[in-house]
Amino acid sequence: MKGKNEQRAGLLYGVGAYGMWGIVPLFWPLLKPSGAIEILAHRMVWSLAVVGIALLVIRRWAWIGELARDPRKLGLISVAAATITVNWGLYIWAVNNGQVVEASLGYFINPLVTIAMGVLLLGERLRPVQWIAVATGLAAVLVLAIGYGRPPWISLILAFSFATYGLIKKKVNMGGLESLAAETAVLFLPALGFLLWLTATGASTFTAGGAGLGHGALLAATGIVTAVPLICFGAAAIRVPLSTLGLLQYLAPVFQFILGIVYFHEEMPPERWAGFALVWLALSLLTWDALRNARRNRVLAAKLLATATAAAAPAPAAPAAPEAVTPEIVTPETATPETATQQKIT
């Protein structure tokens, strides 16, 4: 019963995390007349403040010393910080410049880019269905390039930057809160310096927006908007299977796509619908293949466990011989079953 409650709570946390990421396009336009770079700088500064408070509450500080003694990990954190800066900044700019649909496309194709990077950079081998999905995704990009009259640069940069960020995070292997704290700490001084420069030159909108102090409060809220979904995601990740998280990840771009059409009234000519349809087909193939592979791994694990249990069972005792001889004692060998792992949809 407790396990079911935990999974139910994890599912709610996951829906909450991806749901908040999905409706965040409604928030960025509220920050006008602030530009994308100023909003990004505030997001970096206030995110560190919010995450710092969260770490203070849960008293989780030991990782700082470990990170400080590991130059390689510090370097990776710095690269991750630079990569997510590009991703965040471009996404804010895209939303505030009427490109919500194209931005959503970036997160739709992100799993396909992640798979392609695994093949090119890590030498991973793909199953046939995964190859078909990647090829379908490439065809979608070509169709969309025709539809837009140019390659969908916003989508491609968002997808590649986030896939690179995920690859680095995998190598760093830190918790969500700790990782965000480290990355925003790297970005804090440049971001704060930029905001102070804006203030000194009279270009800051922190208190000069249409709502005065209310506008400043909205800029400060960027830290909450950044940290809260991440905290919910972390709570979901330890409670639900990776396959479930893999499915939930599509909620965010779906919500963004719907907002782009229904709320922001962006145009969707037929060629764009065709391109998005190909992307959705590729993702459907990818999801089906991952679920099938996960099911096959579970069956294999069960068979290995049953085989190991049978091998470890003691042999039946032989009947006593009439001669008074000392019987030879035979100890059966025990086997350790291999553990099948679930493949995460990325």
pLDDT tens-digit map of 306-330: 777 777 766 555 555 554 444 443 3
Task: Please give the pLDDT value at position 324.
Answer: 46
Please state, in angstroms and rounded to a whole number, the distance separating the CA atoms of residues 114 and 151.
19
pTM above 0.85, yes or no: no
> Which tokens in the block code for residue 213?
């102090």
pLDDT digits (tens, 9 = 90+) for 164-208: 988 888 888 777 788 888 999 999 999 999 999 999 998 888 876
Whether the CB-CB separation of 268 and 148 falls below 8 Å is answered with no
> Which tokens in the block code for residue 155?
């989508």
126 torsion bin: left (phi>0), alpha (psi -120 to 50), beta (else): beta
Query: What is the average pLDDT value for the chain, to the nearest integer?
Result: 83
pLDDT digits (tens, 9 = 90+) for 80-127: 999 999 999 999 999 999 999 999 999 999 888 888 888 888 777 888
**What ranges do the domains of the chain cover?**
8-301
| Residue 36: count of CB within 10 angstroms of its CB | 19
Q: Is the pLDDT of residue 39 over 50?
A: yes
Please state, in angstroms and rounded to a whole number, the distance separating the CA atoms of residues 91 and 40.
10
Whether the CB-CB separation of 100 and 264 falls below 8 Å is answered with yes
- How large is the average pLDDT for residues 279-285? 91
